Amino acid sequence: MASTLMLLANPYRPDPRVRIEAKALADAGHKVTVLAWSRDTGEPGADADGAVGISRVGPACPFRSASRMLTRLPRYWLAALKASRAMDFDIVHSHDLDTLPAGLWIGRLRRKPVLYDAHELYAAMVKDDVGAMSGPLQRLESFLVRRADAVITVSDTLADELSKGRGQRARVVMTSPDASPLSEAEVRAVREEYGMSGFVVSYLGSLEPGRFVEQLLDAFSPEDGVTVLVAGKGSLEEKVRQASGKGHVRYLGSVSTDEALRLTAASDIVTAMMDPSNPNNVVGTPGKILNSMALARPYVTTQGLRIAELTERKGTGIVTAYDRGAFREAVLKARRDPRGLLEMGLRGREHFASDMSWSKSKGELLEAYDSLVGAR
């Protein structure tokens, strides 16, 4: 089996997609080392996540600071290059565009193949932070992606975009949970544990603008009989804490991946709304939707997203405008139709099992590795 060096531009606390891929590779017999950027503290160090080795390098760099990112990202690349000299590996696995220059550099110097793992269209993701630089960054992204030996990404839509100019199409590796629906008794136990009552509308994820967090907090009143359940971390955390004083909003802080799945299973409907003005949101598949489908739970998503097209075609959730009033009306209408909600969840689970399960994506990941090992 091969050994792989994964490059990651965050501290791995852990990063959900990186963790599920790394563990799948380790379970298949590959040796996996994640070389992460400890940008929160800047401190170097090493530990392990089961069979996955974690090595961290600096420097420190504030999150959501484009100016400091421009000056400190190259320092992470240099630190990663220096650290990699003492490591043995057969494949370089670069997560997202901010590690790809270093990955290509290390790969060429060590004569190792480079796998690019695109979690999103990076230039579109940072468009609001970099302004006029988004155009040149998009061109740089296309240039660098064409130079990777193989590409994997999170959806068919992104695979189409990232395959332009390449001889081989990008493989689709969804970050799908390896989870099954809970029994009614298990759902009741989770609700009792967290004091969840009434009709539960959940949001479990990053607390950042463009994800409908602020609109969700104001969508309902205590008289509606709706509990708004929120878990996660981000720049809107203080606003969520303040809203939790209303009584019907419950904020749980940050929760583990496994706990997020339990909370999803105990929800009546999951909020998976993304701002459609961001091109990256349009082509992505939110992890919350994959979790909802896996656990047979309906969800609400936004008109104009590609995933909304699948949602309407398969009948796995509700599609509405990116608007607080429209969202509120759609949820309250769905609440009056429990049988319809149940059927949406079951259709989602059926589609997930046939087309979006982790077993299918794991096969694509392992095949990508096999192709690179064979090409060495």
User: What is the per-residue pLDDT for 158?
Assistant: 87
Domain containing residue 285: 184-355
Residues of the chain with pLDDT > 70: what percent? 95
**Containing H/E element for 278?**
none
State whether 78 and 50 are in the same domain.
yes
Residue 88: φ, ψ to 5°: -105, 130
State whether 191 and 283 are in the same domain.
yes
Of the pLDDT bands very low, low, confident and very high (cuts 50, 70, 90), residue 134 is low
State whether 172 and 203 are in the same domain.
no
State whether 350 and 365 are in the same domain.
no
pTM recorded for the entire structure: 0.80
Mean pLDDT of the region 99-104: 96
Residue 274 scores a pLDDT above 90: yes
Q: Are 298 and 317 in contact (CB under 8 A)?
A: yes
Q: What is the radius of gyration, based on Cα positions, of the chain?
A: 21
State whether 207 and 96 are in the same domain.
no
Q: Count structural domains, the chain.
A: 2
State whether 234 and 137 are in the same domain.
no
Any idea which of 16-25, 26-35, 70-79, 160-169 has the lowest mean pLDDT?
160-169
State whether 339 and 215 are in the same domain.
yes
State whether 362 and 349 are in the same domain.
no
State whether 201 and 230 are in the same domain.
yes
State whether 49 and 77 are in the same domain.
yes
Beta strands in the chain (DSSP E): 3-8, 31-37, 45-49, 52-57, 91-95, 114-118, 150-153, 171-172, 199-204, 226-231, 249-251, 269-271, 299-302, 318-320
CA dihedral of residues 15, 158, 7, 26 (deg, nearest 10)? 70
Mean pLDDT of the region 101-121: 94
Mean pLDDT of the region 115-143: 74
Mean pLDDT of the region 107-126: 86
Sheet of 249-251, strands arranged across: 249-251, 226-231, 199-204, 269-271, 299-302, 318-320
Residue 132 scores a pLDDT above 70: no
User: What is the per-residue pLDDT for 5?
Assistant: 98
State whether 244 and 364 are in the same domain.
no
Residue 376 scores a pLDDT above 60: no
Average pLDDT, the chain: 92
Q: CATH no. for residue 351?
A: 3.40.50.2000
State whether 202 and 293 are in the same domain.
yes
